A = this chain, B = another copy of it.
């Protein structure tokens, strides 16, 4: 018996990695990855796959171009491939970061609920818009998971696609043995914010990486009950700040006029910390969609708490999968119109890859099915906690439970998510409506309104709901907004 016979199951050889990038035409994240890989300690090959082949082709070209940079320390080659199967075949690592459906659907997610008085701030992960985004996306990702099972069953799969909890859960629901991680920047942002507080309030020399937290919850509704900066307990500071000026700011529309929608003023965070004693760990604009009292009263309430709503107009114009300000300009770089500097992006992907290839334990927050890491949520649903990444394995860290009221809010959303996931197994749209109807945003509507909103969203996005059996639905039959009802 030799070692060669054993290298199948999830072992990563950092000198010869094959990465399949589904959604590889990305204008933002792909260029970041390309730069990080060029500066990394790993070598390998990247297959870019996208329904927009041209974009994938452009990124491949860019990737190979970057390799010629003098500062590149690693050896990588890039190609755009024409099929999912080709991309996945034998891949070591799979990156999933794509939404098939066009921008207009995301606009619907925001604008149609608003007509019913629901002022979701982002509508990307929960609430009527988030649920419909999930209903459109789950079937696609079930197919991705099935393809991974067939073409690269042991690959490490990184899912960056929203709604991360729905999507990661769908991957595991289709292929329970998948090695998939759901990844998200929000907790990193909270750690960055805590480091900033340690600098500003305690005079510490602190970066994000110096802040360790005990994080738990579901994606975009995560909570922290321990935070240390270089071992220093930050809790007393947080307790003090929540009652002071920093923790009690009010904002108006005018105050926020020039702010980006991504600016996080933390006032929702402080209020929930005051109320429940544990600290939310995602951007306020996401938190409000789960703690829905903050979106009652519409835009004014949001603004009072320092949150600026993602306008549907904004989204129509600026939509990118990551919804972030675009800072890359591949064409300009290639054409030489803009100076290119090979610098790290700050993304965490390479750190995780390092952990998996044996660079020593790496700890960060990931989304994984609950196997006990959260003690008072059932096993199965995808939750977000820290995990420790080591050679060939990722294990969640046992993070404990919640104060009852917080657990109650989380459990309500878990119930929606699980109901939608079950409904998606056989496209049962009335079952999906059950999950929709218990969403805390939807519960602010009358029964008739909730059915009509559901019908209107289905009608608007019907082209992207082909996996759902719409024709058999009693709910749609009773919705005044649904054609033919």
Q: What residues of chain A have their CB less than 8 Å away from a CB belonging to chain B? A: 1-3, 5-12, 201-204, 212, 214, 226, 228, 230-237, 240, 271, 274-276, 292-294, 296-297, 301, 304-305, 356-358, 360-363, 371-375, 379, 386, 388, 390-393, 395-401, 403-405, 407-409, 411-412, 415-416, 418-419, 422, 433-435, 437-438, 440, 442-450, 474
Contact = CB atoms under 8 A, between A and B. Distances in A.
29 contacts: A3-B203, A6-B232, A6-B234, A6-B237, A11-B228, A212-B392, A228-B391, A231-B391, A232-B392, A275-B434, A292-B443, A293-B437, A293-B443, A293-B444, A293-B445, A294-B447, A296-B449, A361-B361, A371-B375, A371-B398, A372-B372, A388-B397, A397-B397, A403-B434, A405-B419, A405-B438, A408-B412, A408-B438, A444-B444
A70 B422 CA distance: 62
A393 B214 contact: yes
A296 B412 CA distance: 19
A379 B372 CA distance: 10
How many copies the complex holds: the figure is 4
Contacts of A443: 292-293, 296, 440, 443-444
Given A293-B450, A395-B399, 7 more contacts: A361-B361, A361-B388, A371-B375, A372-B399, A398-B398, A405-B415, A443-B443
A398 B446 CA distance: 34
A473 B416 CA distance: 34
A391 B231 CA distance: 5
Q: State the majority secondary structure of interface residues on A.
A: mixed
Contacts of A415: 404-405, 407-408
A393 B228 contact: yes
A121 to B, nearest CB: 14
A202 B2 contact: yes
> 3 closest pairs, A vs B, by CB?
A231-B391, A372-B372, A408-B415
B293 A390 contact: no
A360 B292 CA distance: 38
Q: Which of A1, A235, A447 has the largest count of B CB atoms less than 10 A from its CB?
A: A447
B396 A398 contact: yes
Nearest to A228: B392
A416 B412 CA distance: 13
Contacts of A296: 443-446, 449
A204 B297 CA distance: 52
A392 B1 contact: no
A418 B396 contact: no
A434 B446 contact: no
A392 B231 contact: yes
B391 A212 contact: yes
Nearest to A198: B3
Given A375-B379, A404-B415, A357 B3 contact: no
B398 A373 contact: yes
B293 A358 contact: no
Contact of A404 (B237, B395, B405, B419): B419
A11 B444 contact: no
Contacts of A403: 434
B435 A405 contact: yes
Contacts of A375: 371-372, 379
A178 B182 CA distance: 34
Contacts of A388: 361, 363, 386, 388, 397
A360 B351 CA distance: 14
Contact of A446 (B275, B301, B374, B405): B301
